[in-house]
Every structure is written in structure tokens, then in C-alpha cells.
Amino acid sequence: MEERRNKIITFVNEHGNITFNELKENFPHVSEMTLRTDLKVLDKEQRLVRIHGGARSLDKVVGNDDFLKKRFIQNTKAKKIIAKKALEFIESNTTIFLDSGSTTTMLAHILEDKPNIFVTSGLTCAIEIARLERAKVVLSGGNINRHSLSVNGIEGIRYIEKINFDIAFIGVTRYSKETSFTCESLEDAELKQTVIKKSRKVIVLMDSSKINQRGTYTICNHNEVDIVISDNELPEALKHEFRNRGIAVY
């Protein structure tokens, strides 16, 4: 069984992404039910990412960069949960902002190929979206932050000021009731603030490890957020607090 699953990983890594039909063709003597179980287990073990109709390689998004790979797979289960929930909000023919970060990269990793315009401050997000044929992707521009693999600065802000977004997916570093949604870079905070002002709907992506922590730079207040998407570990009290403030929680 382990040998077969190792072969599946090798097959997926060689192709980057595969359909379930391709998997069946490559393993003709293995039942469909067994292959589906294998994908489920390998996804849970964080060795690949299950997507609709197939699977994708983790190496496809992070390449050979060990630092990025470590960052990407941290809290992978939570990131997958959040990304799959966020995917439900993406409709065709819309203009969408994708913030930089590992959770938004996971979302970009599982995007369906629809005729959308994506603007992103994340290099890894841009690389992921570039694989799609119908979607258009634009980097917001500015200076490259080598640590976060993002771009920020006045050039990006000026570009974003010209765009009207249908949806903005915003990543945060920390959240507390006192400081609201925060990050640790002034330049990133200013760019996110500009995006929020230009967006019809603002969706914050935040796993439960970020809560009850004071951050340095406040990105936005509660009344500027429409939806919070998290993993399934948010305390009920916090969900209740968000809903009382008019924020939907998923």
C-alpha cells in the first residue's frame, strides 16, 4: 500500500497536476475506491493537494525552495479548509484581489480556470494563477519583500487606486479585539487598506492560530470587513462577536 502511494506521489510530482482519469489509467489494476482513498490519505498527510477531479503536487507551487516549502506546509490542514471555503465565493467574470501569503497561495493553488481578472501582491499567487488559460493575473507592483515574497510600495498603491474590485481576499497576521485585524509591515498594511477601500466585498482569510494576538499595524476595523473565513477551530464566542458586528463567518 505504501509503495503504491509513493508511486502516486511520484506520478503527481512528475506531472504537476493530474486528473482522476489519468490516475486510473496509470494504475489500471487498482480499484477506483482505493485510488480515492489513497488521494484522501495523501492529502491528509500533506504530501499532495486534492482538487476537484484530481490532485496537484505541493512541489508545483513551492518548487525547490526549502524555506518557502516549510512556510507553505505550516498549518496546511487549516489553509486547505480556508481555501476551499473561499473558492465558493469566486464567480466568473469578476475582478479579484488576492493578498500575498501562504493561505492565499493555497487558494490560488486550487483555483478553477474561469475568465476572471486577478490582481495580487503575492509572487507565489501570481505563479499559481499563471498556469490558468482563461484567467488574467497582474502583479500590483512595487518593491519585492524577499521574506514574504510579496510586492508593496507606492507604485502598487497607485495601481490599485485605479481598480474596482468585486472581491478582495485579505490575509492577516494577527487578530485581537483591541487592535482588530493586523499585520507586521507598515507597507503591507497601507497596500491592504487601499485595496479594502476599492473593494465591494472584503473577505478576511484567517486561521485560528492568529487570534487573541496584538499586532503592530492595524489593517482595518470590523466595520470594513464583510466576511471572515477560517478553519473549523474558531471559538464560538469569537464567531458570536463577529456576527454581532455584522461580519459573516464561514
pTM exceeding 0.85: no
Q: What is the pLDDT of residue 214?
A: 87
- Which residues are CB-contacts of 14 (< 8 A; sequence separation ≥ 6)? none
**What residues of the chain score a pLDDT lower than 70?**
58-75
Residues 33 and 128 in one domain: no
Q: DSSP of the chain, one letter per residue? A: -HHHHHHHHHHHHHHSEEEHHHHHHHSTTS-HHHHHHHHHHHHHTTSEEEETTEEEEHHHHHTT-HHHHHHHHTTHHHHHHHHHHHHTT--TT-EEEE-SSHHHHHHHHT----S-EEEESBHHHHHHHTT-SS-EEEE--SEEETTTTEEESHHHHHHHTT--EEEEEEE-SEEETTTEEEES-HHHHHHHHHHHHTEEEEEEE--GGGBS---SEEEE-GGG-SEEE--TT--HHHHHHHHHTT-EE-
**At 12, which CATH number?**
1.10.10
Q: What is the pLDDT of residue 45?
A: 77
Residues 45 and 113 in one domain: no
Q: What is the pLDDT of residue 115?
A: 96
Residues 85 and 187 in one domain: yes
Residues 123 and 25 in one domain: no
Domain that holds residue 128: 68-249
**At 93, which CATH number?**
3.40.50.1360
Distance CA(226)–CA(243), nearest Å, equals 10
Q: What is the pLDDT of residue 184?
A: 86
Distance CA(203)–CA(228), nearest Å, equals 6
State which of 42, 60, 78 marks the end of a domain.
60
**What are the cell numbers at 214?**
496584538
State which of 17, 33, 60 marks the end of a domain.
60
Residues 8 and 98 in one domain: no
Residues 31 and 82 in one domain: no
Q: Total domain count for the chain?
A: 2
Q: What is the pLDDT of residue 31?
A: 94
Residues 121 and 31 in one domain: no
Residues 198 and 171 in one domain: yes
Residues 55 and 164 in one domain: no
**What are the cell numbers at 203?**
473577505
For 15, half-sphere exposure in the C-beta direction (CA atoms, 13 angstrom radius) is 16
Residues 89 and 48 in one domain: no
Residues 91 and 147 in one domain: yes
Predicted confidence (pLDDT) per residue in 158-199, tens digit? 999 999 999 999 999 999 999 999 998 889 999 999 999 999
Residues 17 and 96 in one domain: no
**What are the cell numbers at 166?**
468585486
